[in-house]
Amino acid sequence: MPYAGMIPMPTIAAILFIVAYNMCQWHTFVKLVKTAPKSDIIVLFASFILTVLFDLVVAIEIGMVLACLLFIKRMSEETHVNSWTYVDDDTPDVDEHLQKLPLQIRVYEISGPLFFGAASAIEHIVVKDFTTCLVLRMRSVPALDSTAMNALVDLVEVCESKGITVVFSHVNEQPMKVMEKAGFTELVGKENFQPNISAALKRAEEVIAE
């Protein structure tokens, strides 16, 4: 250690510059800017600027908050509620592969996680005056939270006031646990939870035949 004091400061500065250059990983930085999604680039630049202006602790805290908010936004954009296309005798032959259903049955397919950031998607479900049974296909819903659960409860209550039975198809494990804990399965009726779309449509036909 005594000999370290004999090293000229310009030499130490040069060593520190080399260490800093190797640690900055600017090749990776440039690659991320060119290839990463816009949300990741925002988090990257925000963390970088905050590290320079303040310190690493502040940059990590704000970067984590930004990353969470942008992740929620991205997940909410992945949630969709789509109605099945209906065909009749006048539909062109190109659509012969589509399944024909009674007019009283309306089917919606929900895709993506249902959480507070995407619960409003349930509002896109519309039932007609002639609808007797609403089938919700949930095979592509991996997760459900309490906010979305409340939205489903409101939907079922509105349907019940109009005399419409709601049938659920292929509810995954996590959403089913949330529904059971909230007493939603009793509200809807366990007979209206079916393992697949074929069974759900069969149940719907039974409902309209009653």
Rounded CA-CA distance 113/108 in Å is: 15
Are residues 173 and 142 in contact, defined by beta-carbon separation less than 8 angstroms?
A: no
pLDDT in tens, 10-44: 888 888 888 877 777 778 888 888 888 888 889 98
Instruction: Provide the terminal-to-terminal Cα distance of the chain, rounded to the nearest Å.
Output: 92
d(CA 200, CA 109): 12
Q: Which residues of 110-134 are buried (b: 16+ CB within 10 A; e: fewer)?
A: bbbbbbebbbebbeebebeeebbbb
Residue 22: its pLDDT value, please? 78
Of the ranges 26-40, 64-78, 177-191, which one carries the lowest mean pLDDT score? 26-40
Tens digits of residue pLDDT in 148-160:
999 999 999 999 9
Q: CB–CB of 121/114 below 8 Å? A: yes
In DSSP terms, which residues pair with 110 in a beta bridge?
81
The domains located in the chain, with CATH, are: 2-77 (no CATH), 80-209 (3.30.750.24)
Q: pLDDT band at residue 90, thresholds of 50, 70 and 90?
A: low
Return the pLDDT at 11.
85
- 3 pLDDT band, cuts 50/70/90, is confident
Of the ranges 71-85, 97-111, 181-195, the best mean pLDDT one: 181-195
